[in-house]
Amino acid sequence: MTRYEIYLEIIYRGLLDIRAACDDREQCFAQSDHLHNMPALLRDFDNEELHEFYWTAMRPSYLNSCKPERRHMFDELWAELEAFRAKS
Summarised one tens digit per residue, pLDDT across range 41-85 is 999 999 999 999 999 999 999 999 999 999 899 999 999 999 988
Contact 77, 10 (CB under 8 A): yes
- State yes or no: pLDDT of 86 exceeds 90: no
How far from the centroid of its chain's Cα atoms is residue 23's Cα? 21
Terminal CA-CA length for the chain: 17
**CA 70 – CA 50 distance, rounded (Å):** 24
Read off the pTM: 0.94
What is the reported pLDDT for 9?
Answer: 98
Q: Roughly what angle, to the nearest 10 degrees, separates helices 75-87 and 3-20?
A: 160
